[in-house]
Amino acid sequence: LTEAKHGGNKSAKKEGASGSSFFTWFMVIALLGVWTSVAVVWFELVDYEEVLGKLGIYDADGDGDFDMEDAKVLLGNCHEIISSITEFGGNFVGFLCSFIVKKKKPKLLNKFDKSIKAELDAAEKLRKKGKTEEALKAFEALVSKYPQSPRARYGKAQSEDDLAEKMRSNDILQRSITTYGEVANLPNVPDDLIKMALKRRADRQQFLGRMRGSLVTLQKLVDQFPNDTSFKNNLGVGYLLIGDNNNAKKVYKEVLRLAPNDGFAKVHYGFILKAENKIEESIPYLKEGLETGDPGTDDGRFYFHLGDAMQRVGNKEAYKWYELGYQRGHFASVWQRSLYNVKGLKAQPWWTAKETGYTELIKSLEKNWKVIRDEGLAVMDRSKGLFLPEDENLREKGDWSQFTLWQQGRKNENACNSVPKSCALLERFSEATGCRRGQIKYSVMHPGTHVWPHTGPTNCRLRMHLGLVIPKEGCRIRCAQETRFWEEGKILIFDDSFEHEVWQDANTYRLIFIVDVWHPELTAQQRRTLPAI
């Protein structure tokens, strides 16, 4: 629709022009470009404003000046023309055409706004200079004077947006969201301006956590521009943000029907399939989507999930994609693939008690391991229902359940009432109970269980495993490239942002106590302010 409005109709007006006239205008532009380049290099004589001003008589799109859109209309199909006039400098013209195609100037002014362009430009100049309050007053005055002006109202919305950021005010930001919406509801609004206003509105709504409001805005964009798959892609992301994978899947399926090679839609469709545990089916979508290199595809999550899916089906290409993700800067290393990280923290798979600096906590846990064990066993005997099955789709097979005491730095009072001595023991160790990126929990794993290779979400914690009931043989854990074994009353410490894998091939259950602690190199400020995971 946009192409028909801004390209096709204007070209139709030129149909009466002869081939020689068309060629003449083409050569004027090409030769003028060559002359301009030479003059600048050798004589420094060219006044660009004057040159473009003279070209204003060739204004093809009616915006009052000669720009790339006008040249595009005059040039028509570059490749056909180049093939017929190579002897007249086709190489330069090819360069000119490629530049024109890449640079598209959005059309923000309707016929009325062109008549008040000087006033609009003056207000916009204030905004671009960072004079936010003055710009807002100027645009408010223009909206009052010209209520039918879409560009004035858009400038008001932008100024409110800028002021909200400057003042850190959600109230002012909400005003800008309202104003962006008003822009799209005015008559005779250029398509490009509608797109820019509504895209920004949806973005700001998401920033405020108004996810369902942003969906309404994104749906409006899809309805108004049904042939623009980028808006459908954004709508799919909107659904994913509220956890509505089903509707997101429908959106991306429709995008791929319209544009089968859309990389953005492919990686997101593959992501959804993997979340549905359709592992094999997800792989080609994730892989082909990443291979397109389309904007929005170069995201660590897609490398993460493609590699993970390949590992689960025994595809040896998994580490090739992990390596590529590392090279692209998404992972700290091939083995350390967490996505929510603080840069510069010491990184190694296995740690000693001394290296952590948490020796008092470790001594206390190991000294009282039988107390912790007995309370855990009592809970298992009294009500197996308190141990909940692992729900992150990390098991290939088997039975693995957990009983959580602290989650994201919050104590579960009811759970602690069942194991009061264990919880009392932990209360004085804030590196554990205050770790908002970790958990404290019992973990019971039954024979025949295998946990897929996986990584934790963040490098901001270390994980301690205290052995409580450990079979003599058959239980082991690999972290990166080293495998270790649990012992009753002893603690293993590892960084679970590194790939790790667990096997339980014993004849009876294995019970351990898991305590996550802040990475010792995090500052007190970081521990207070890092968002919970």
Query: Does residue 507 share a domain with residue 380?
Result: yes
Does the CA dihedral 162-167-170-176 come out positive or negative? negative
Looking at the fold, whether 429 and 502 belong to one and the same domain comes out as yes
Within a domain: 348: no
For residue 328, which phi and psi values (nearest 5 degrees)? -80, -5
Per-residue tokens: 364: 């206390």
Whether residue 252 is found in the same domain as residue 129: no
Residues 516, 385 share a domain: yes
Are both 476 and 377 inside the same structural domain? yes
Q: Do 39 and 81 share a domain, yes or no?
A: yes
Residue 144 domain-assigned (yes or no): yes
Residues 515, 465 share a domain:
yes
DSSP secondary structure letter of residue 55: G
* pLDDT tens profile 328-376: 999 999 999 999 999 999 999 999 999 999 999 999 999 999 999 999 9
Q: What is the pLDDT of residues 149-175, one digit of tens each?
A: 999 999 999 999 999 999 999 999 999
Q: In the listed set 300, 331, 362, which residue is the last one of a domain according to the structure? A: 331
Range of the domain at 286: 226-331
Tokens of 303: 């490398």
Secondary structure of residue 518 in the 3-state scheme: strand
Q: For position 348, what pLDDT does the model report?
A: 98
Task: Tell me the pTM.
Answer: 0.77
pLDDT score for 525: 97
Residue 530, Cβ density class (10 Å: 0-12 exposed, 13-18 middle, ≥19 buried): middle
- Indicate the residue among 37, 71, 98 that finishes a domain: 98
Do residues 360 and 260 share a domain? no
Among 496, 490, 456, 458, which Cα is nearest to 477's? 496
Q: Is residue 218 part of a domain?
A: yes
Amino acid (1-letter code) at residue 71: A
Indicate if 321 and 190 belong to the same structural domain. Answer: no
- Mark which of 35, 67, 98 sits at the end of a domain: 98
Inside any domain, residue 106: no
- Do 446 and 503 belong to one domain? yes
Which portions of the chain are predicted below pLDDT 50?
1-101
155 contacts 124 by C-beta, under 8 angstroms: yes
Q: Could you tell me which residues come within 8 angstroms of residue 52 by beta carbon, excluding any fewer than 6 positions away?
A: 65, 66, 67
* Residue 336 lies inside a defined structural domain of this protein: no
The CATH number assigned to the domain holding 196 equals 1.25.40.10
Do 168 and 269 fall into the same domain?
no
- Residues 207, 205: Cα–Cα separation, whole Å: 5
- Does residue 374 fall inside a structural domain? yes
- What's the angle, vertex CA 387, arms to CA 386 and CA 388, rounded to 5? 105
Q: Is residue 248 part of a domain?
A: yes
For residues 313 and 304, give the distance between their C-alpha atoms in angstroms, rounded to a whole number.
Answer: 15
Q: Is residue 110 part of a domain?
A: no
Residue with tokens 């190579």, as numbered in its chain: 86
Looking at the structure of the chain, the number of domains it has is 4
In this structure, the answer to whether residues 316 and 376 fall within a common structural domain is no
Domain containing 460 — which CATH number? 2.60.120.330
As a dihedral over the C-alpha atoms of residue 478, residue 484, residue 487, residue 489, rounded to 10 degrees, the angle is -80
